[in-house]
Amino acid sequence: MSDLEAFREEARAWLESNGPTSMHLPIPESEVVWGGRQEAFSNPDSRVWLERVSEQGWTVPTWPKEYGGAGLSKAEERVLTEEWRRARCRPALMSFGISMLGPVLLEYASEEQKREHLPKIARGEIRWCQGYSEPDFGSDLAGLQTKAVLVDDEYVVNGQKIWTSYADKSDWIFCLVRTDPAASKHDGISFLLFDMASPGVSVAPIQLISGSSPFSQTFFEDVRVPKANLVGTLNGGWTIAKRLLQHERAMISQMGLGLAGSSNQSIDALAKEYVGTENGQIEDSILRDRIAQHMMDNECYGTSLRRSMEEAKAGQGPGAASSMFKFYGTELNKQRYELLVSVLGTQGLGWEGEGFSEHELKTTREWLRSKGNSIEGGTSEIQLNIIAKRVLGLPD
Amino acid sequence: MSLVLTEEQELLRDTAREFVREQAPVAALRKLRDAEDPIGFSRELWSEMANLGWSGIIFPEEYGGAGLGYAELGVVMEELGRTLVANPMMSTVLLAGNAIALGGNETQKKDVLPSVCSGERLLAFAHQEGSRHQPYRVTTTAERDTDGYRISGEKTFVLDGHIADQLVVVARTSGELRDREGLTLFLVDVNADGISRTRTSMVDSRGYANIKLTNVSVERSAIVGDVDLGANVVDVVLDRATAALSAEMLGGFTEAFERTLTYLQTRVQFGAPIGSFQALKHRAAIMFCEIELSRSIVLDTLRAIDEDRDDVPSRVSTAKARCSDSYHLIGNEAVQMHGGIGVTDEEEIGFFLKRARVSQQTLGDAAYHRRRFASLRGF
């Protein structure tokens, strides 16, 4: 038996004996664990589950053991993912610390910073938010104006961020700040970490068209940050910022696969139910064609993600692939919700209350929420700019 | 099976690419067109392709083939698509040849396949009737008579039908017009009494024919496969040929895109390369994404055939729909982005647009394959 197969058996056995049935899929949104100081563990079993999984190092399986991971290879991680899916276990922890910040800390942070922050991310003790966009600097992110000035041994931060995901629920922020106003815009940015409980930090949630408030405006007034919280070099933050965006895009790219979503039923099954059938076919032939097209596109997209992983393993592949997947995946997700709302008809347009099922109301809200997918993490237009420049070599 | 090419496949690709660039650039197709070549492709070139093993690439070694898979075939088809090489791979190897290889008896295989692999014998698949691909819509009839069958009907859009030595004819032996049951395949000599062939001149400058069969008499030994159960062979043949055509199309629109990209980088207007304008950049980036998705589905479809997977039919339809849409988009964008020169006969980009349209329609367009996909998935 190969080492990989031995690992598979080990993982399978562990999941079977340690994964409580209450921690099987599906997972209601109210029971998703994001960790951090405010985490209430609405289902108490999820606390036990998180403790067990993080004890194994499996919230971040490929991170080194000294930082809270399990030191698994990519191949072992794939096996673990497969077994996780097979056992129908819930993810123990959702976290921007895991998907975005951790990978760049591993690459750019000092040893001391890694030992300080990575284990807390792995165990879900600290929840992180992202201080990137500003009111006047969205797509033109590198123009950001939030300032950090070194006074004695502390940076004094002043300015405003916007679209900070879950700022009101987060403990710490990774934040882009301008440390050299005289330098060209890409060369005067630094990457700072600080506690959201610091004096001078305030947060105002923003209500979206979907009715939810996942984003906030975040204000900094003379926030004092220890000098040691600078990651990488002073004024060298843009490189880290871009790398983190690649991780963010990779995370968002997964959304196109229809993994997110309100219903376990596929679009075609819903269409048969809501639109009706004639000789086993969806009665509306144009809708049938659009659903087929969407499903095919989705499958081509999934196959492309697989090819990209295989090429990366073989040392090939386009460097700006994350932009392609971000662009295509989010456009597909929007299209998916447009189709779902078409399928549900007037039942897909309810806002709240009686007359609509829970899943219909959820679909409506998610349809509206999906409009942000092609804006957050860099708009579709920005992704197309990146592809044109970095992959196709078209001139500025 | 991995979607990354193996070293052997890369080597095959390099050989094929060099061969078509030197022996059969787009200029060769123009020359055939302008000379009104009666065959529509170069027999010498086909002999050389046979020597390279391409004509027998998917057939077993015992019949003179190379015994390779569809992953390898796809590599060759993609390169043939890049320079729009006129060749009888589709007609002789993938359609009619495959019908013999998959449905024929031992005698038929031994008779036909070795001379197909050697490049000597040309075949055609006489299937379509009317103006579009509807595999079970067959009105051509084969009626029993004392010694065998008499076939009558009119076939259209028969690839290389005008120069084939033998035809595989799909005829109805029972059932109603659109029934899947009741189809039978016959291997028919083109010199048989009652066959008349008319070459049709089409926009992609390749060879096609309309074929009329009037009381064509064939013996029972001409039956390929089982009487009334021809669709079992037709379905598999069409899936494999459609996968191969998708690979050819992938090569075509990849090439058309790369040529357009070069033009965007070099054509200067308003004192700047036109590729610096965002109105064109974004469209180029979208085309790039479409090509990447197309490549993924084509590679996986070819491997699905090699692995004999259950999802071959739905993968094939996904690949053909996707490649038809991509070639349509890129064919048109390529001409538009070349500006005035793009609509001249002198510039080669127009050849890609023309081939795009014909290959989109061949073996079912995108809408056909979306309907088929929906039926396969039960909606």
Do B152 and B265 lie in a common domain?
Answer: no
Which chain A residues contact residue B322 at CB under 8 A?
A: 296-297, 300
- Token pair listed for A261: 């979503």
The mean per-residue pLDDT over the stretch B99-113 comes to 98
Q: What is the Cα–Cα distance from B141 to B150, expressed in whole angstroms?
A: 8
Give the whole-angstrom CA distance, residue A368 versus residue B368: 33
Q: Where are the alpha helices (DSSP H) in chain B?
A: 7-23, 26-34, 43-51, 70-82, 98-103, 106-117, 230-266, 278-306, 312-337, 349-361, 366-376
Considering the domain architecture, whether residues B215 and B176 belong to the same structural domain is answered as yes
Mean pLDDT of chain A: 93
Q: How confident is the model at residue A261 (pLDDT cuts 50, 70, 90)?
A: very low
| CATH of region A3-94, choose from 1.10.540, 2.60.40, 3.40.50, 2.70.98 | 1.10.540
Query: Are residues B255 and B348 both part of a single domain?
Result: yes
Asked if B177 and B250 sit in the same domain, the reply is no
How many domains does one find in chain B? Answer: 3
DSSP string, A97-127: IIIIIHHHHHHHS-HHHHHHHHHHHHTT-S-
Same domain, residue pair B269 and B170:
no
Q: What percent of chain A has pLDDT over 90?
A: 85
User: Looking at the domain assignment, is residue B79 inside a domain?
Assistant: yes
Q: What is the mean pLDDT of residues B152-160?
A: 98
Q: What is the pLDDT of residues B281-300, one digit of tens each?
A: 999 999 999 999 999 999 99
Contact A395 B265 (CB under 8 A): yes
**Domain match, B327 and B280 both:** yes
Specify the pLDDT at position A316. 66
Residue B1 lies in a domain: no
In terms of domains, do B251 and B371 share one?
A: yes
Tell whether B308 lies on the interface with A, counting CB pairs under 8 A.
no
Cβ of B270 under 8 Å from any chain A Cβ?
Answer: no
**CA nearest B70: which of B309, B304, B254?**
B304
d(CA A176, CA A140): 13
Q: Is B373 on the interface with A (CB under 8 A)?
A: yes
B173-230 pLDDT per residue, tens: 999 999 999 999 999 999 999 999 999 999 999 999 999 999 999 999 999 999 999 9
Choose the closest CB to B296 out of A307, A393, A395: A307
A276-280, A319-323, A377-381, B6-10: which range is least confident on average?
Answer: A319-323
Q: What is the CATH number of domain A128-236?
A: 2.40.110.10
Does the distance separating the beta carbons of B296 and A391 come in below 8 Å? Answer: no
* Residue B128, domain CATH: 2.40.110.10
Please write the tens of the pLDDT for every residue from B19-67.
999 999 999 999 999 999 999 999 999 999 999 999 999 999 999 999 9
- Among A295, A328, A381, select the one facing B282 at the smallest CB separation: A381
Q: How confident is the model at residue A259 (pLDDT cuts 50, 70, 90)?
A: very low
Decide: helix, strand or coil at residue A186.
Answer: helix
Judged by a CB distance cut-off of 8 A, whether residue B296 touches chain A is: yes
pLDDT band at A264 (very low <50, low <70, confident <90, very high): low
Question: Is B293's Cβ below 8 Å from some Cβ in A?
Answer: yes
pLDDT for position A320: 62
Query: Vertex A146, ends A141 and A147: CA angle to 5°?
Result: 130
Q: What is the pLDDT of residue B145?
A: 93
CB-CB under 8 Å, A271 with B293: no
- Grade residue A262 by pLDDT with cuts at 50, 70 and 90: very low
Listed residues B121, B154, B178: the one ending a domain: B121
| Chain B residues near residue A385 by CB distance under 8 angstroms | 278, 281-282, 285
Instruction: Pick A392's closest partner by Cβ from B285, B299, B317.
Output: B285
| Residue B1's pLDDT band (cuts 50, 70, 90) | confident
CA distance to A48, A83, A247, per residue, from A99 (Å):
22, 20, 7
Asked if the model's pLDDT at residue B164 lies above 50, the reply is: yes
Confidence of residue A28 (pLDDT cuts 50, 70, 90): confident
Interval A198-203 mean pLDDT: 98
Q: Looking at beta carbons, which residues of chain A come within 8 Å of B299?
A: 307
| Domain-wise residue ranges, chain A | 3-94, 128-236, 258-391
Query: How far is CA B60 from its chain centroid?
Result: 21
Q: Do A384 and B265 make contact, defined as CB atoms within 8 angstroms?
A: no
Mean pLDDT, residues A342-355: 97
User: What is the percentage of chain B residues whose pLDDT exceeds 90?
Assistant: 99
Are residues B212 and B91 located together in one domain of the fold? no
Average pLDDT (A97-103) is 95
Residues B368 and B258 placed together within one structural domain of the fold? yes
Using the structure block, give the residue that is written with the tokens 């030191």.
Answer: A71
* Span A22-48, average pLDDT: 92
Residue of A nearest to B264 (CA): A394
What average pLDDT does range A204-220 have in this prediction? 95
For residues A364-386, give the mean pLDDT. 94
Q: How many CB atoms lie within 10 A of CB B338?
A: 21
| Among chain B residues, CA nearest to A313 | B4
Do B212 and B273 fall within a single domain? no
Give me B158's structure tokens: 């028969």
| pLDDT tier for residue A257 given thresholds of 50, 70 and 90 | low
Quote the pLDDT of residue B202: 97
Confidence category of residue A252, pLDDT binned at 50, 70, 90:
confident
Strand B223-224 relative to strand B183-189, pairing: antiparallel
Domain boundary among the residues B213, B229, B245 is at: B229
Beta bridge partners of A164: A216
Instruction: Indicate if the pLDDT at residue B15 is higher than 70.
Output: yes
The ipTM, to two decimals, is 0.95
Is B198 contained in some domain? yes
What is the mean predicted confidence (pLDDT) over B59-83?
98
Within 13 Å of residue A335, how many CA atoms lie on the same side as its CB? Answer: 18
Q: Sorting pLDDT into bands at 50, 70 and 90, what band is B121? A: very high
Among candidate residues B193, B209, B229, the one where a domain is terminated: B229
Whether A270 has its CB under 8 Å from any CB of chain B: the answer is no
CATH number at residue B295: 1.20.140.10
Range of the domain at B250: 232-376
Whether B15 and B99 share a structural domain: yes
Residue A325 in this model has a pLDDT that exceeds 50: yes
Q: Chain B contact for A335, CB < 8 A?
A: no
What region does A104 belong to: left with phi over 0, alpha with psi -120 to 50, or beta? alpha
With cut-offs at 50, 70 and 90, classify the pLDDT of residue B104: very high
Determine, yes or no, domain membership for B92: yes
State residue A343's pLDDT score. 97
Q: Phi/psi at A151 (nearest 5 deg)?
A: -125, 115
Averaged over A38-62, what is the pLDDT? 96
Q: What whole-number distance in Å separates Cα of residue B317 and Cα of residue B373?
A: 6
Average pLDDT over residues B334-345: 97
Domain A258-391: which CATH class? mainly alpha
Please tell me the distance from the alpha carbon of residue A322 to that of residue A332, in angstroms, as a whole number.
15
Quick one: which of A123, A71, A87 has its CA closest to A8? A87
**Domain check: are B108 and B192 in the same one?**
no
Cβ distance B285 to A388 less than 8 Å, yes or no, reads yes
Residue B267 domain-assigned (yes or no)? yes
